[in-house]
Structure 1
Amino acid sequence: MSSLNGRRILLIVSGGIAAYKALELVRRLRERGAAVRAVMTGSAHQFVTPLSLSALTEDKVYTDLFSLTDEAEMGHIQLSRDADLLVVAPATANILARMAHGLADDLASTVLLATDTPVLVAPAMNVRMWEHPATRANMDLLRTRGIAVVGPDSGDMACGEYGPGRMAEPAAILEAIERALTGPDQPLKGRRALVTSGPTHEPIDPVRYIANRSSGKQGHAIAAALAALGAEVTLVTGPVTLPDPPGVRAMHVESARDMLAACRETLPVDVVVCAAAVADWRVADAADQKLKKGSGGDALALSLTENPDILATLSQAGEGRPGLVVGFAAETEQVVEHARAKRDRKGCDWILANDVSAATGTFGGDANTVHLITADGVESWPAQSKAEVGRGLAARIADALGPAA
């Protein structure tokens, strides 16, 4: 018996040239015993007809948010609640952007915003649109919220260009639907992970502090990726403007000493990833009151003292040491050489080195280029989004740790 037998799929068809593939997808789903109900955006009507979808689904096709009959009998919320999975195919750049930013101006986007049902998207668009920073940022945001993605593929496009952006073929989408309904592969289930993220703020006085330019995007992406693989994740984060990743226990701290205390409280864990950009120094004697300018124009002298070394502390051998300790080396020159030295000095197992000089845009940006340094050597990863770096690192961690006992 098919794993899709009796499962209920709500298919949302948006307005892309690949909409014709939705018809084949419906046919394959129905062959495997799935019940399919369809929602179409207004622009989808330019590519396929409601009649075609209705004939294949053997159900009404829903298009109008403001149909009083439908709102009385079913409603946009009930549409999603009646389904085991929502599938957006094709998922255009427009509907992905509306999903990412919580817009709800038609039936399709309202259903997607109102649902707590799992969602799978099959992106389809021109290669330039797919590679645009706005689309990449929207996709990263959707992934951190748990949206499953299949494709896109690379190939010739209707516009005459070649590259990534073609919607995945119906067979591949069907496989992704089966995976989404049978549950994701969770190789880290039963494992405990600790991730540090963001900057630390070291007070000078009640209104001023020493900090750095870290946004926390990389650390948060790693925490989300580990959680997606089934790990029980604690995220210890300095001050950031990012939302807490779903499925993660977050502990919010200010200073390096606060961060170390929170990390110690979380132990024991199987793996720790120190992605936070911890301030190396703090003011030895922070003022209790706001410091005032002197009338003579003399420069203010601050006495600094070193902060505790969180990575080195967690890397210390002995009972309770995590099985895998991963650090980050944010460098502006001789990136790999300095990171190798840092790994030896700190005693951690792995170091991810990245160039954070101003020209790279790494601090605060959405992309990163890292070098994974282990006892076996250096592995240079291609430039990619921080979400992709997080998923890549999580997969490597799962391979290194193996199944939980």
Structure 2
Amino acid sequence: MDDGCTDDVSSDAFVMRVAPSLDAFSSAEWANLAGASRENQATPYNPFVSHAFLSSLEDSGTTSPQTGWQPQHLRLENSDGALLGAVPCYLKSHSQGEYVFDHGWADAFERAGGRYYPKLQVSVPFTPATGPRLLVAPGRDAGAVRQALGAGLKTLCERLGVSSAHVTFAPETEAAALEEIGYLRRTDQQFHFFNRGYAGFEDFLASLASRKRKAIRRERREALGEDITIERLTGADLTEAVWDDFFRFYMDTGGRKWGRPYLNRRFYSLIGERMADDIMLVMARRNGRNVAGAINFIGGDTLYGRNWGCIEDHPFLHFEVCYYQAIEFAIEKGLKVVEAGAQGQHKLSRGYVPVTTHSAHFITHPGLRDAVADYLVRERAEVAQIGAYLEEHAPFRKARD
């Protein structure tokens, strides 16, 4: 299964191709896959699996062999050449930018004499947001297509001679389907806000315990206490000058947090050209200039918070720009969920509740597979235990409050 080659991977005459870039799919073809466009209602639109987002990563050089993210997308066709499904997949030479950490697995395998890299990564690069990974064309048997895609990924692993394939931030249904064909299931935790039909931000606050409600009001007030104003920008508001400011914030914060930020300036210009109406940028201004910002992507029923940055430090400004503005926007637009990215138990007291995330892992070496499987049993139990504890400490009003 190489570039330009085909293989049958099931008795149903499925044909799997490996595409070295998203150019192997027309934008219309890709948009027809579940979750990849607003027009396809079978699955709520996820902007991160859209052709616009993924092609912007490639065309900006952010995902490339040089950055250790070599596209190896799977394209599943029937015997007549009709597209049945696809997988956004990358050949990785490291484990950076994934947010589901396997560095320990790599270290242990290599200390034992194995070669962990390269590996296959099925994900949206640099994006810890759950969304479809086994993309299915409408009118097809979703179960059969997902099984074929999962089997094709295993075959590609073996053909390339790589150690493993990792399907991260997948819907639980996809992770379960992959587990049925030999993948190992992994769980983790994030914090999401759920819009329970709130009429406005004050209605949301009324659902919280009084102490939490007062704390949020104080944080919002103090965040704007130094003549700071907040703007929400989308569509035509996203000018190159705005992107210049935001990229400066991203580089400053990303450089301090990661050492080397993942995204480049051209990437932001491309998404501004290709999907501006799917972006909501929150910018904080003081003394006539932007001093902080956060980028959000608007899905079919979810607002996805991604990168934040600042060039001035102000108390509680991060919470206002990243969390409270996102909640307010989601309520105004009738969106059901806000996903605010990875990690951060501090989100709990601000109305975000713990949610389990899922991934699936195929490991070729029997010894490494057994060791990882044993580890994952204990890790899943710990994740569940922590989740139950955090649920008990959710900030919402009790009956007596």
Greater relative contact order (Cα 8 A, min sep 6): structure 1 or 2? Answer: 2
Question: Which has the greater radius of gyration?
Answer: 1
Q: TM-score by structure 1 length?
A: 0.24
Q: TM-score by structure 2 length?
A: 0.25
